[in-house]
A and B are shown apart, each in its own frame.
Chain A
Amino acid sequence: MTVLEEPTALKKTPLYDRHTALGAKIVDFSGWAMPVYYSGILAEHEWVRKSCGVFDVSHLGEIHVKGPGAFQFLQARLTNDLNKLKDNKILYSLICDEQGFTLDDILIYQSRRDDYSLIVNGGSIGRVLEGLEKYVPESVALTDRSDDTACVAIQGPRAEEVMRGVMGYELRDLNTYFFKEEKFNGQPVWISRSGYTGEDGFEIFSSNGLIVPIWDRLLAAGREKGILPAGLGARNTLRLEAGNVLYGNELDTATTPLEAGLDWAVSLDKPGGFVGRDCLLVQRERGPARRLVGFRVLDKPVAREHYPIFKSDRKIGTVTSGSFAPTVGGNIGMGYVEKKFSEPGTGIEIEIHGRRVPAEIVKLPFVPHKKRG
């Protein structure tokens, strides 16, 4: 076998030394040295589904957008309708280029009208900034806070209990896709209720220095309080089961949100439109030629990204993500196929190690999202 290369010259989060001290396997994740697992992906995945896992997601970028006209600017720049927001609410959106291709998928946090924080993917910060700067009016300030903001995600059915018992935050009244300011050691932190795993969960955003004692507090409480650290490996299998797209896999600068089935986050009819709207409108009217689907592999080999998808000896698409799925108990994945083959129940074949393996298109998500409480 070929051992995965130890990354060099990668960016490190403020928790990097904590990960190596825990014996984490470190890999290159879009330019960041991140823990892929501590004990093992399977064990961490199962722990998050039944208890509570803590993830370092400090590689995420944070861009502040503030000033008179910030609402109008973002409304005309992003695909979703910012009128769905109110103070302390969070909205998922895409940011597209002029052709409707996807620059990133992001979360918009509204502190007040004309005062927003965009949470962007770690590998997309430069591309998003560029895409914003091109259109930003003088009255609106863009500030990249990525290098001095850190974040941990606390995910799983026991997350609310952990936030109360270990961190001292009563968050029963914090609804999903809302956030609030709290204090840790007298300093401000942001707590949001969202996540990527399909489970109930929270994020804590803080300064770089403050994230270390926050992490230490959670980890010191440990397994007895239901907490274990979880790496990006489990984060990936969990999000895949939850049917959540990953930028770089399901989305990129050659893919539109409509192909990805993210129509619910694309407001084609909002007044004034947005960058990329005209192209997306044409695509909506014609119907995208390919669609993102979920599939189950009906055999033991694992389908992985870039593997070709076939129907009766003709290539009809490509796998974008694939893995053994611990909660499903089988091999699953997502990929793009020609629209006429995208209906659930359609039999397909995936080429794995030179062999055609049967698979079936299924409805997403693979594991239903948990309702909180």
Chain B
Amino acid sequence: MENGEWRVDASKLKYAQTHEWVSLKGNVATVGISDHAQKEISDVVFVELPAPGRVLKQKESAMVIESVKAAFDIYAPMSGKITRVNEKLKDKPELVNRSPYADGWLFEIECSNVKEWDSLLAGDAYEAVKSAH
């Protein structure tokens, strides 16, 4: 992250085991990847965003992030319908590296089962997952 300008409230974020972060407002989840994940992926050169309207199950592959090194699947942390994607990434995929929690967000999901929020990791539990790697 380059600056302190947060789009989301970091203290309220939860995380999937697969390193996506989620911010939930009502039944709308905003999704991105963690700072740890963007460092692992490094040098993002292309982001294949999901089609708005697409319906996904939790843990289903939603999209692909391409770095110089490899292609990485990004999974839906919660089930639902894609309502919005970050169009800026089409021309500036490097925002995922520069600003993973703000300008580098990926997509929004209208959640079909808000209870899935409880299955995600809180910040401290996610820290433990990270350090296990």
A contact set with B: CB distance below 8 Å: 1-4, 6, 25, 36-37, 40-42, 45, 233, 237, 300-302, 304, 323-324, 326, 353
Contact = CB atoms under 8 A, between A and B. Distances in A.
Nearest to A39: B42
B58 interface: no
A323 B20 CA distance: 25
22 contacts: A1-B41, A1-B73, A1-B74, A1-B75, A2-B72, A2-B73, A3-B19, A4-B40, A36-B69, A37-B42, A37-B69, A40-B42, A42-B43, A42-B68, A233-B69, A301-B66, A302-B45, A302-B46, A302-B66, A324-B46, A353-B48, A353-B71
Interface string B70-112: 1111110000000000000000000000000000000000000
A3 B42 CA distance: 11
Interface of B: 18-20, 33, 37, 40-43, 45-46, 48, 64-75, 133
Enumerate the 8 nearest inter-chain pairs by beta-carbon distance, A residue then B residue, closest first. Answer: A1-B72, A324-B45, A41-B68, A302-B66, A300-B46, A42-B43, A3-B40, A40-B43
B119 to A, nearest CB: 18
Contacts of A40: 42-43
A302 B71 contact: yes
A301 B48 contact: yes
A1 B69 contact: no
Majority SS at the chain A contact face? loop
Contacts of B42: 25, 37, 40-41
A40 B133 CA distance: 20
Contacts of A6: 133
B63 to A, nearest CB: 9
B19 to A, nearest CB: 5
Contacts of A304: 70-71
A300 B64 CA distance: 12
Contact of B46 (A45, A237, A301, A326): A301
A353 B72 contact: no
Contact of B37 (A1, A45, A323, A324): A1
Contacts of B48: 301, 353
A324 B72 contact: no
Contacts of A302: 45-46, 66, 71
Contact of A1 (B18, B45, B46): B18
